Every structure is written in C-alpha cells, then in structure tokens.
Amino acid sequence: MKKIFLLFFIGVLSFSLFSKQNKNSDVIVVTSQDGLNEVLNKNDAVSVKFMASWCPACNNMKGLDQKMRNQFKGKVVFVEIDSDNAKDLVEKYKVKGIPTYLFLKNKKETKRITGSIKENDYTKYINSIAKK
C-alpha cells in the first residue's frame, strides 16, 4: 500500500512540476539588464511586459497575453519583468505604471502602452514588430 501511495505521489508531483514549467515556456522572465540584453541581441521582435503579481490590471491581461503568445509564436519573443524585482530596469526604461508594454523591433522601441490594451490594438502593435 505504501508503494502505491508513493508512486501516486511521485506521479502527481511530476505532473505538477511539468505543468508549471510547460505553462510558462512561451514567456521569458527577465530580472536584469544583462538578461534583457541577451534576449534583445538574439531576437529582432520582442514584446516586453513590466508587471507585478499584485497588480489587478496585470492579472486581468494574462488571458490576452497568452492569446498573443499563441498567435505570434515563432514571430515575436515575449518577455515579462516583475517590476518589484527589477527596479533598475523600471528606472532605466522610465516605467511610470504597470502594466507597461514595450514593443521592440531590432532593439528599438516602436510603441509603449501603460495600462490595459484592447485586443485589436494589441494585435496591431504585435503585428508591427512581428517577423513576416
């Protein structure tokens, strides 16, 4: 009986770990300028979201963020920066509120939005930087 329970527990734990890892595999979490530079140096089209886990507007955008990641997979790299854990990046990029979205093409900011974004606008901004 103990072996069955142990096998069940290991199976549940493995599934839980895999799900968490798989769930966020389409977004890169950055915590430093070096990390962001690495992403920008390797990718032409990057969408950066400055956010915080406690932010209602940030949390409300999660579903639309995921939809955009699915729609533009392979064409745009999506980055999230927790503003509470990356104050230097918040200061450097002059983030005044969250969520703040930066749309970058060839390391240059093409658009910046602070607050929630409507789906049609979000699609338009992502399309403007996406690889064709």
Whether residue 123 is contained in a domain is answered as yes
Closest CA to 108 of 18, 33, 55, 46: 46
Which amino acid is present at 54?
Answer: W
pLDDT at 1: 55
CATH number at residue 96: 3.40.30.10
Q: What is the pLDDT of residues 50-86, one digit of tens each?
A: 999 999 999 999 999 999 999 999 999 999 999 999 9
Asked if residue 21 belongs to a domain, the reply is: no
**Residues acting as catalytic residues:** 55, 58
All residues at 6 or more sequence positions from 60 whose CB lies less than 8 Å from its CB, including other chains: 116
Which residues neighbour 51 within 8 Å (Cβ) at sequence distance 6 or greater?
58, 80, 81, 82, 83, 98, 99
Q: Is residue 10 part of a domain?
A: no
The tally of domains found in the chain comes to 1
Residue with the two structure tokens 């049609």: 120
DSSP letter at 105? E
State percent of the chain over pLDDT 90: 79
Which range marks the domain in which residue 121 is found? 26-129
Over the chain, what is the mean pLDDT?
Answer: 86
12 within some domain: no
